[in-house]
Chains A and B, each alone.
Chain A
Amino acid sequence: MIERSAESLALQDQIDKCVHCGFCLPSCPTYMLWGEEMDSPRGRIYLMKAGREGRAQMTDGFVRHFDACLGCMACVTACPSGVQYGPLIETTRGQIDRQHPRPFADRLFRSAIFAVLPYPGRLRVALAPLAMWSSVVSRWSLVVGRRAPDDQRRTTVDQRRTTNDHRPSTIFTRLRAALALAPRVTFSSLFAPAVPERTPAIGERRLTVGLLTGCAQRVMFPQVNAATARVLAAEGCDVVAPAAQGCCGALALHAGRLDEARAFARRAIAAFEQPGVDRIGVNAAGCGSSMKEYGELLADDPAWADRARAFASKVRDASELVDELGPPRATRHPLKLRVAYQDACHLAHAQGIRQAPRDLLASIPGVELLPIAEADVCCGSAGIYNLVEPDTARQLGDRKAGCIAAVNPDVIASANPGCTLQIAAAARRRGEDVRILHPMEILDASIKGGW
């Protein structure tokens, strides 16, 4: 039975707002792949509605269509009626999580993700064997040379002829996907020093910014945090990175694990409630998007509602911050680079930030921005999606990597760690050795005058 709690009743308004016009269809990655109504935003909302009307039950089939949703929010951008799909999918996923029994292996896999990813300590331990493996491989490859790229051992798949067999992925495909996605970590990157708790502004202080160092970002891409702190300091910000902060809860929120997300949110709010912090800076699109939603997430918690709203109003993506600071203070040294900027869905669709990162990159002399086809289509990373739905994620990753390869950039700029991992894996399958950097790393290099 589909729940009719107060929380879910509040969503009736959102469901009613959908007038079934279908404008969202071409924006939806799964509709793009399969062309099936029930795997489109309009179809999913129709199923939610049917559930409320008692015309649909929460069967395995019902759940499949919500599992297949990437939560990329491209439909929100496309919707002329203003349907807020985010809360709809999060609530539906929450109901599924509470009511729908999943097979043991599926449950175990999902629990493992949520028990490891949001905790930097555990994540380091999980990645340590890979670091060990990569140090072995790097020595070995010196002896035997490069192995053939994956795609030479696989037949080419026509992008437009993809299929949806409506079956959940097996544990084996998932594990294989997880390994393929894992970053190329080394011990020195895994145990890189944390961003200092306080980085003073260079020159006169314009703002004090609390920096979210994140969970996966901190472990897999510590250099992005370091670059962000340096850029913000160079632009006149005192940068505060409290050691007590943890995961922001984005992964849990987007998967509908709302209580878990709330616990993370409370901890993050408390960590940044320091006197003088004007803004909270984030360099991961998914995190920024969920932190901006803290107000709604904790709206029913009297002890936290006001604090959450106050916190959310200060959250800015790093590119937004640089834009907000006004005319650049630090000199941008030329970088001769052809850059393909890849829009993270949680920046472009969820936060509406498309121009700021492009402006930031374009402000660097010598940088040429290359427009890529299907820029507003999800790369398939989508939080934990590429771990739990590896087949679909791979199709989308291949498609994205193809669009990027078509413009032959020197560097791919990606403002979200999930997208970075996903695109790197897709490029490896194509046998390409691509360089993917966060816009902050590129700006940092320009300010420093070199890599």
Chain B
Amino acid sequence: MDAAFVSELRRIVGTEHVLDDALELLTYECDALPHLRESPAAVVLPASAAEVQAVVRLCARHGVPFVARGHGTGLSGGALPVPGGLVIALARLNRVLDVDIPNQRVTVEPGVTNLEITKQVAPFGCYYAPDPSSQQVCSIGGNVAENSGGAHCLKYGFTTHHVLGVEAVLPDGELIHIGGTLVDTPGPDLLGLLIGSEGTLAIVTKIIVRILRRPEAVQTLLAAFDTIDAGGAVVSDVIGAGIIPAAIEMMDALAIKAAEAAVHPNFPPADTVLIVELDGPASEVKALFGLVHAICERRGATTIEVAQNDEQRARIWRGRKAAFAAMGRVSPNYYVQDGVVPRTRLPEVLNRIRQLEARSGLRIGNVFHAGDGNLHPLICYDERVPGEADKAVDVAAEILSYCIDAGGSLTGEHGIGADKSQYMPTMFTAEDLDLMQRVRCAFDPHGLSNPGKVFPTPRLCGEVPGPYRQHPAEAAGLAERL
């Protein structure tokens, strides 16, 4: 990165908002996936969409790759810097621009935290539904990039179901508006394309989200089981009975131990605990909650604790939401994976994970959104023991292969990022990946926006490996080459 580029950055955002001191850059070398590190050439902290636009234009002119970063809480290395590239940190774009309660929508800048939206609207009896475990810190811009979910997405859906519109800067510096203030806008679903694109298509600078009314009633229970199969059976029975819980979460013994050490949620020492939450009209919740309670009993729950008030409910959720970070209590390092399996195959995959744990010698905690079949194995390792970090990566790869074998997916909500791009060919064919690459090239023909993420091998557009092969969609006349 040449001096002229950096001084131009300083002119755009102000001297103190460009970081190029090696020491300061160190702290930007990773997000919440600290085993992948790369120091950027500089970090810039714009404070407005216009500044983001000017910075991106500058990058486009100079061919400098850039990576957008929120608060650095991603778990797939999505904000891992590119060597010689720029990190565009959006922490200062943190204003809540509009709160429109009658129309149930809020407009924010990308650096606003997920929880801040709920805080803003809570006095009016509303909340923002997607609730990733890191909601107290994760940025809404990051949520859009990763299409974040959370414990309650079983019933309420992912980020993509709650974003009405965005303002974004394309990799050539053009400012665009997609969607709007209404639930659906005519034309192809470009918003759906942008959400979950992991920073490879654009940088979002403004987001309009939907907010929901707080449900009339919420009931939560914590049930303990001696086996993972019993817990899994409850999940299947509950959903089979036609109940859509607001959340249904499972944790295993190691995760329970870590959470207990961290935030004392008073979880019973069990092989498996299940958290089931129902919400909605009071009469409905009351009736269905009785059913869920009965199912837990029938499947042999050793204890069932029903939260009697908001404080007790918050305590149970504290235990669940702190579980990832709490692994620091039981292990010097951990590696969270994120995979999905069909709900009915959960016990089978978990048992395979337990066998792998015994074989590998690395402890594996399990926390998952059981209703969605979304697994979060927490692989414990010690980076100071030579070879253990690599072993953890191998174990993770194996777990992901179990998910794919079971007809599942590489990620439920954390994204592919830099962490799992290499596994994409295990789930998609070369043709699939080429098609995705073409979409990407339509937005970012020079591959400047978060290169090296999502796709297995970073390549520029048009660089299709080997001779040109016609995509089946092209052959069918449904698409044409750009």
Contacts and interface: CB of A to CB of B under 8 A. Distances in A.
Contacts of B262: 80-82
A190 B31 CA distance: 52
Given A21-B134, A25-B71, A165-B16, A160 B329 contact: no
B322 interface: yes
Interface residues of A, number: 39
Contacts of A23: 134, 136-137, 325
Contacts of B373: none
A162 to B, nearest CB: 9
Interface string B22-36: 011011101110100
Interface stretch (B87-95, B198-206, B354-362): B87-95
Nearest to A38: B27
Interface string A29-40: 001001111100
B194 interface: no
Query: Which of B45, B89, B334 has the most A CB atoms < 10 Å from its CB?
Result: B45
A286 to B, nearest CB: 26
Contacts of A78: 136
B328 A80 contact: yes
B327 A19 contact: yes
A21 B325 contact: yes
A22 interface: yes
Nearest to A40: B27
A402 to B, nearest CB: 16
Given A82-B261, A163-B16, A22 B137 contact: yes
A282 interface: no
Contacts, number: 114
B137 A160 contact: no
Nearest to B383: A16
B128 to A, nearest CB: 16
Contacts of A50: 23, 26
A38 B95 contact: no
B76 interface: no
B326 A80 contact: yes
A387 B329 CA distance: 37
A26 B111 CA distance: 11
A19 B333 contact: yes
Contacts of B327: 19, 81
Interface in B126-160: 134, 136-137
A164 B326 contact: no
Interface in A46-81: 46-47, 50, 55-56, 59, 61-62, 78-81
A4 interface: no
B78 to A, nearest CB: 13
Given A22-B134, A36-B45, A46 B27 contact: yes
Contacts of A55: 26
B72 interface: yes
B73 A166 contact: no
Contact of A36 (B91, B95, B111, B328): B91
Contacts of A43: 27
Interface in B13-48: 14-17, 19, 21, 23-24, 26-28, 30-32, 34, 45, 47
A17 interface: yes
Nearest to B15: A165
Query: Which of A37, A38, A81 has the most B CB atoms < 10 Å from its CB?
Result: A37
Contacts of B333: 16, 19
A298 interface: no
A19 B325 contact: yes
A161 interface: yes
B407 interface: no
A50 to B, nearest CB: 5
A22 B23 CA distance: 19
Contacts of B219: none
Given A35-B45, A56-B23, A163-B16, A20 B34 contact: yes
B445 to A, nearest CB: 31
Number of contact residues on B: which range applies?
35 or more
Nearest to A56: B23
Contact of A46 (B21, B26, B89): B26
A25 B137 contact: yes
Given A19-B327, A38-B27, A81-B328, A163 B14 contact: yes
Nearest to B115: A26
B134 to A, nearest CB: 7
B332 A16 contact: yes
B411 interface: no
B21 A36 contact: no
B435 interface: no
Given A26-B113, A62-B23, A35 B73 contact: no
A312 interface: no
B19 A36 contact: yes
B368 interface: no
B324 interface: yes
Given A17-B328, A35-B91, A35-B92, A47 B16 contact: no
Query: Which of B30, B32, B111, B334 has the most A CB atoms < 10 Å from its CB?
Result: B32
A16 B324 CA distance: 15
B16 A166 contact: yes
Nearest to B331: A19
A47 B329 contact: no
A35 B88 CA distance: 12
A164 B134 contact: no
A85 to B, nearest CB: 13
A18 B95 CA distance: 29
A261 interface: no
B263 interface: yes
A43 B28 CA distance: 8
A24 B32 CA distance: 12
A83 interface: yes
B325 to A, nearest CB: 4
A36 B72 CA distance: 11
Nearest to B259: A80
Given A22-B32, A50-B23, A81-B329, 17 more contacts: A16-B332, A16-B333, A17-B329, A23-B136, A23-B325, A25-B71, A26-B113, A26-B136, A35-B92, A35-B111, A36-B24, A37-B27, A42-B27, A59-B23, A80-B326, A81-B326, A164-B16
* Nearest 4 Cβ contacts at the A-B interface: A81-B328, A35-B91, A80-B325, A80-B322
30 contacts: A17-B328, A19-B32, A19-B327, A19-B333, A20-B31, A22-B32, A22-B73, A23-B136, A23-B137, A25-B73, A25-B137, A26-B71, A26-B136, A36-B19, A36-B24, A37-B28, A37-B72, A38-B23, A47-B23, A50-B23, A50-B26, A56-B23, A80-B262, A80-B324, A81-B262, A81-B329, A160-B92, A160-B95, A163-B17, A165-B15
Interface of B: 14-17, 19, 21, 23-24, 26-28, 30-32, 34, 45, 47, 71-73, 89, 91-92, 94-95, 111, 113, 134, 136-137, 261-263, 322, 324-329, 332-334
